[in-house]
Each structure stands twice: as structure tokens, then as C-alpha cells.
Amino acid sequence: MSNHAEESELFCPGERYSISREVHLGRLASFYSKCRTCVHRDNHHPLTSRTTGLLSAVHRRATKSAGFDREGWSGIAINEVDTAKVRHLAAAFAAVLQDEKRANHPLAIVVAGDSQPRYLEWLAAAHEGLRYAATKVIDIGPATAACLALAVLRSEADGGLLVAGDSDRRQRVRLRFWGSAGFAWSAGGGLDKLRARTASRIDRPRRHYGPSERYAAQADYLDRLRPVVEHSNPLRVVLASSCGPSRRWLIQLAAKASIEVIDFRGQRPSAGRGESLPSGGRTPPQLVPSHVVPMIDALRAQLLAAGADVGAYIDEQGEVLHLLDERGRFVPPSMLVLALIASRGSHPIAARVVLENDTPRRLADAMQRVGTRTFYRDASRESMSRAVWRENTLYGSGPSGRIWFRQPHGAADALRGLLAATELVRQMQRPLSAVIDRALAMGGQGGYDHGPVDG
């Protein structure tokens, strides 16, 4: 009788049916992937000591990391993320928005992916979860975070959901959420409500699926960027990015201007990291994720070999921009914003900037010397986007690598930041390094080699 009770209590993680002890032991002995995080993994008698030792080593290496983070929800695509979980998250998101709406009117949510085929399964699951909650799904196809935020605003939708990947080898799936008017959700704000809602059952509000429609949001988005590149001088840009929309749209815009986009080849530098590089040609580790640092160093090597004007890395969501000038020097986002402000003169809105809390005070002092009023805020996407809009500023920046623009509603936009850098080079008719040095000198920092490089 006890054996029957023991067998009935054996469940694999994520499965709703019990398995027999024989199946349980067979899976353990074959190192079944779900056994790494199973609560029954220590129930291994009578397996050999060698097998149990290997199972213990596998368990120590297993890092269960799926769950909510500061900016959304993420998990490793293999073994951690399944379609049922994504469907539940999407349905919970719709339930939170419906609670906030306080009216029995159908919801509308904009959904986008990042164009990587291996994540289409989870994108489809997000669609299904939203439609299960009787939500109208507005599909804009592959898009960046900024394009999605604009689509939420233009379509007057109740929220937005982006399903994207990551550039690390573990193939992490990331879900990012937006509320009404295109404002991002982060921990400490809208994301906390979603986290609490996922812990409960999601009841189906109606006995039918919500409708689905397509919306060509990229046309509105690109119309905002075209004036920046229409009159550009000949420039060469080396781009490293797994964000398909950012890369495709940059090439599309460059075709109508004198900008040559050079694809990143992924070659490693022949010298060790930091060797044989010009002054300032280093990648500050506190600003760049560890798995991206080798890519930035390789990007620098290709930039110098090609004699290009600008090097850029854009993350999977199209939010984070890591910029290199023609000398291979790392240009933090706040330094680029300083140059943008210095080039605008005394425009009243241009003299207001929101900075992340960890931005070095030296950069804030430099901005104030060129007539800028600065505001410090928490670095979360929600806090920064709302602050940029509320404080009526044109820019926001900080060590996160994001550059926020007031339109649409304080969205972080790496492609727009890159195009702004190329516009600076065209407008000033100087290399990007000279533009940055001029801005730092105007801010009393004495140029790049004597100024802050960590913000």
C-alpha cells in the first residue's frame, strides 16, 4: 500500500500525470533533462553509486533561472520554458490589464517578436494565451521595443507584449510588457501586479477566443527616422546585432542615403583583450554583459580594419546601444547624449535630460556646464520612460546602455540613437571622436582621454 502511495506521488516537473517508479528510475538513469530540477531526484534506490554520483554533479550544475526579473520574465528555451507557461503569462497579463480597465470592454494588446525563427513557438503561445482571455491581438510582426511602444500608442491598445531571444549561447527567451500609452512595465510598477496575478488561476472571461488582426506598424516607425538619414554624408557603419528588425530597417534607410552598412563577421581580435588598442579603446566591463564583451572587442577590430566611421552593437529588443567611434573608443550613451545636447545650443527642451541613478556625477556636471538641467531616476525601463515623458525632456540615458527619446512616450530606441550619432558626424562634419571630444571639452572634462568613460 505504501508502495502504491509512493508511486502515485511521483510527478515529472511540469507534467500533470503521475509516473510509475520504474519509469522514474529509468529517467534518472538516462539523465532525463527534467530530473535536474525534480523534487524526487534523490529517490534513486537501487541505482549504482556511480550513477547517483553523476546525478548529483548534474544537479549542482543545473541553474534554474526561469522567472521574473527586473524588466520582465525570462527562462532558458531548452527545458525551462514551455508553451503552457507562456500561455499562462499572456493570459495573466490580459487579466491585469482588464482589472485596470474596470470595464467589461474587450481588450486590445499589440504583440511582436524579434524575427528569430526558434522563438516562434513561444510567440504563438503568447497569441493563444491572449486570445484565450478574449483579448484582441494586434500582430505587428517582427519589431523592436520602440516600434511596439509606438504601435500601442497609435492603435490605442491597452498594452503590448514582446517575445524575444538573447544572444547568449543558452538561448534565453524573454517576455517584455507594456501598459497603455506605450509605457514599459518594470519591477516596482506594473510588473509586480503581473507577478502576483500569475500565482492564481486565470478564469476565461468569455466562451470564445479574441480576434486577431495585422497592423503594419513599421511604416509609422520608419517615417520618424527617415528625415535623419536623407541628407547624410557618406558614412560606413559596422553593425553587430541579432535584432533582425533593427538590422533590416537600418539597411532599408541606408539604401536611400550615403550610409554603407557593414555586417559584423564575428572575428575575434588577434591580440588579447585590451592589447594594441588606441587610447580609450577598451570595453568597460561594468557597462557591457560578460557574454557581449568579446563581441564588442571583435567589433572594434573589424571597425579599425575596415576604416569605418562608427561601430554599433544593438541588443535583441532593439533597446541597448553600445557605440564605438572611428578610433575604436567606447562611447557610453550619456556621452552621446552630451554631444547631442552640445550640438543643439540653447533649445529649451534640449536643456533637460533624465539620467539613471548610477550615471557618474562628472557627466551630469558636464551637461550642466552646457546649460542642461538633469534629473536622476531609477534605471528601470518603466521609471525612465515615464520620467522622460513627465519631465518634458528629449533624452534619457545611463549605464544600462539605453537611450530614451520623448516620442513615443519615453521609448528606449537603439536604432534611433545610432542614427543620431551618424547625424552628429554629418552635421558637425567631423569624425565621431572629435565630436565627443568637443562636447566633453565644452563640459569642462578636457576631452575623452581625461573625461569619464564609465557612464
257 and 115 within one domain: no
HSE of 87, CA atoms in CB hemisphere, 13 A: 16
Contact 318, 145 (CB under 8 A): yes
Contacts of 269 (CB under 8 A, 6+ apart): 297, 298, 300, 301
119 and 77 within one domain: yes
Strand 321-324, strand 330-331: pairing? antiparallel
pLDDT of residue 230: 62
Q: Is residue 134 assigned to a domain?
A: yes
Cα–Cα distance measured from residue 330 to residue 286, given in angstroms and rounded to the nearest whole number: 12
280 and 264 within one domain: yes
pLDDT of residue 257: 79
Cα–Cα distance measured from residue 186 to residue 189, given in angstroms and rounded to the nearest whole number: 6
86 and 181 within one domain: yes
Domain with 123, as residue range(s), is 68-215
Comparing 79-93, 202-216, 386-400, the range with the smallest average pLDDT is: 202-216
CATH number for position 113: 3.40.120.10
137 and 279 within one domain: no
pLDDT of residue 239: 96
264 and 331 within one domain: yes
Q: How many residues does the chain have?
A: 455
257 and 374 within one domain: yes
Mean pLDDT of the chain: 83
Backbone angles phi, psi at 167, to 5 degrees: -85, -5
Number of domains in the chain: 3
Q: Is residue 174 assigned to a domain?
A: yes
84 and 161 within one domain: yes
145 and 76 within one domain: yes
Instruction: Give the tens place of pLDDT for each residue, 274-313.
Output: 333 333 456 666 677 777 888 899 999 999 999 999 999 9
**Cell numbers for 192:** 509586480
365 and 228 within one domain: yes
Q: Is residue 455 assigned to a domain?
A: no
pLDDT of residue 401: 93
Mean predicted confidence (pLDDT) in 262-282: 51
Instruction: Give the tens place of pLDDT for each residue, 407-446.
Output: 777 899 999 999 999 989 988 889 999 999 999 988 887 7
Q: Is residue 145 assigned to a domain?
A: yes
Comparing 31-40, 94-103, 160-169, the range with the smallest average pLDDT is: 31-40
pLDDT of residue 66: 74
Backbone angles phi, psi at 304, to 5 degrees: -65, -40
Cα–Cα distance measured from residue 71 to residue 92, given in angstroms and rounded to the nearest whole number: 16
**Of the residues 200, 215, 230, the one at which a domain ends:** 215
pLDDT of residue 345: 62
DSSP bridge pairs for 161: 111, 177
Contacts of 424 (CB under 8 A, 6+ apart): 339, 340, 343, 432, 435
SS3 (DSSP) at 111: strand
Mean predicted confidence (pLDDT) in 314-328: 94
pLDDT of residue 23: 82
Strand 373-377, strand 352-356: pairing? parallel
**Of the residues 44, 61, 78, the one at which a domain ends:** 61
Evaluate if residue 169 carries a pLDDT over 60.
no
Cα–Cα distance measured from residue 30 to residue 426, given in angstroms and rounded to the nearest whole number: 61
Q: Is residue 53 assigned to a domain?
A: yes
**Of the residues 61, 83, 101, the one at which a domain ends:** 61
Evaluate if residue 39 carries a pLDDT over 60.
yes
189 and 226 within one domain: no
pLDDT category of residue 448 using cuts at 50, 70 and 90: low
Instruction: Give the tens place of pLDDT for each residue, 208-222.
Output: 788 999 999 999 999
- Residue with the bigger pLDDT between 6 and 177: it is 177
262 and 239 within one domain: yes
Q: Is residue 120 assigned to a domain?
A: yes
Mean predicted confidence (pLDDT) in 386-394: 90
pTM, entire model: 0.82
Cα–Cα distance measured from residue 298 to residue 315, given in angstroms and rounded to the nearest whole number: 16
Contact 338, 363 (CB under 8 A): yes
Dihedral (CA of 43, 48, 51, 57) sign: positive
pLDDT of residue 264: 92
**Cell numbers for 9:** 506521488
